[in-house]
Chains A and B, each alone.
Chain A
Amino acid sequence: QKEVEQNSGPLSVPEGAIASLNCTYSDRGSQSFFWYRQYSGKSPELIMFIYSNGDKEDGRFTAQLNKASQYVSLLIRDSQPSDSATYLCAVNTGSGGFKTIFGAGTRLFVKA
Chain B
Amino acid sequence: DTAVSQTPKYLVTQMGNDKSIKCEQNLGHDTMYWYKQDSKKFLKIMFSYNNKELIINETVPNRFSPKSPDKAHLNLHINSLELGDSAVYFCASSQGRRSNQPQHFGDGTRLSIL
Contacts and interface: CB of A to CB of B under 8 A. Distances in A.
Contacts of B105: 43-45
A94 B4 CA distance: 25
Interface string A68-93: 00000000000000000010101010
In this complex, the interface size class of chain A, counting residues with CB under 8 Å from chain B, is 20 to 34
A55 B72 CA distance: 34
B90 interface: yes
A101 B45 contact: yes
B22 interface: no
A61 interface: no
B42 A104 contact: yes
| Interface secondary structure of A, over-half rule | strand
Contacts of A102: 35, 42-44
A26 interface: no
Interface of B: 33, 35, 40-45, 48, 55-56, 90, 97-108
Interface of A: 31-32, 34, 38, 42-46, 49, 51, 86, 88, 90, 92, 96-102, 104-105
